[in-house]
Amino acid sequence: MCGIFACYNYQGNVEDFRQRALYLSKKIRHRGPDWSGCFVGKNTILAHERLAIVGVDSGAQPLVSDDENLVLCVNGEIYNHKQLARNLKTTPVFKTHSDCEVIMHLYNEMDTELVQHLDGMFSFVLLDQKRNRIIAARDPIGITTLYYGWDSKMPGTVYFASELKALNEECDKILAFPPGHVYDSETGETTRWFNPSWWEETRVPSAPANLKLIRESLEKAVRKRLMAEVPYGVLLSGGLDSSLIAAIAARETDKIASGATSPESDDDRYDSSGPTLWPRLHSFSIGLPGSPDLIAAREVAKHLNTIHHEYTFTIQEALDAVNDVIYHLETYDVTTIRASTPMYLLSRKIKAMGVKMVLSGEGADEVFGGYLYFNAAPDREAMHAETVTRVKNLHTSDCLRANKSTMAWGLEARVPFLDKQFLEVAMNIDPAEKMHDRSKGRAEKYILRKAFDTSDDPSAKPYLPDSILWRQKEQFSDGVGYSWIDTLKEISLQKVTDEEFATASQRYTKDAPTTKEAFMYRVMFEKWFPQEACTASVVRWVPRADWGCPEDPSGRAQKVHEAAYDGQ
Cα→Cα distances 203→196, 304, 374, 387, Å:
12, 40, 19, 12
Catalytic residue among 2, 7, 171, 399: 2
Asked whether 519 and 135 are in contact (CB, 8 A), the reply is: no
- The residues near 37 (Cβ < 8 Å, ≥ 6 apart) are 47, 48, 50, 60, 61, 62
Pick from 435, 389, 405: nearest CA to 202: 389
SS3 264: helix
Pick from 281, 285, 294, 220: nearest CA to 247: 281
- Residue 233 pairs with which residues in a beta bridge? 358
Asked whether 406 and 400 are in contact (CB, 8 A), the reply is: no
Q: Would you list the DSSP string of 511-567?
A: S--SSHHHHHHHHHHHHH--SGGGGTT-------GGGT--S--SGGGSTTSTTPPTT
- The residues near 203 (Cβ < 8 Å, ≥ 6 apart) are none
Cα separation, 300 vs 212, in Å, equals 23
Torsion angle of the four alpha carbons 242, 247, 248, 250, in this order, in degrees rounded to the nearest 10: 120
**Phi, then psi, of 338 in degrees rounded to 5:** -55, -50
* Tally of CB atoms within 10 A around 233: 24
CB-facing half-sphere around the CA of 267: CA atoms within 13 A: 1
User: Quick one: 175 exposed, middle or buried, by C-beta within 10 A (0-12, 13-18, 19+)?
Assistant: middle
Strand residues in 45-152 grouped as ranges (E) = 45-50, 63-64, 70-78, 120-128, 133-138, 147-150
- Looking at residue 59, its amino acid is G
- C-alpha of 82 from chain center: 24
Cα→Cα distances 319→1, 129, 327, 556, Å:
28, 48, 14, 21
What Rg, from alpha-carbon coordinates, does the chain have? 23
Cα separation, 121 vs 101, in Å, equals 15
User: Quick one: 466 exposed, middle or buried, by C-beta within 10 A (0-12, 13-18, 19+)?
Assistant: exposed
- What is the C-alpha end-to-end distance of the chain, expressed in Å? 41
Cα separation, 313 vs 323, in Å, equals 16
Cα→Cα distances 270→18, 463, 512, Å:
38, 24, 47
Asked if 2 is an active-site residue, the reply is yes
Q: Which residues are catalytically annotated?
A: 2
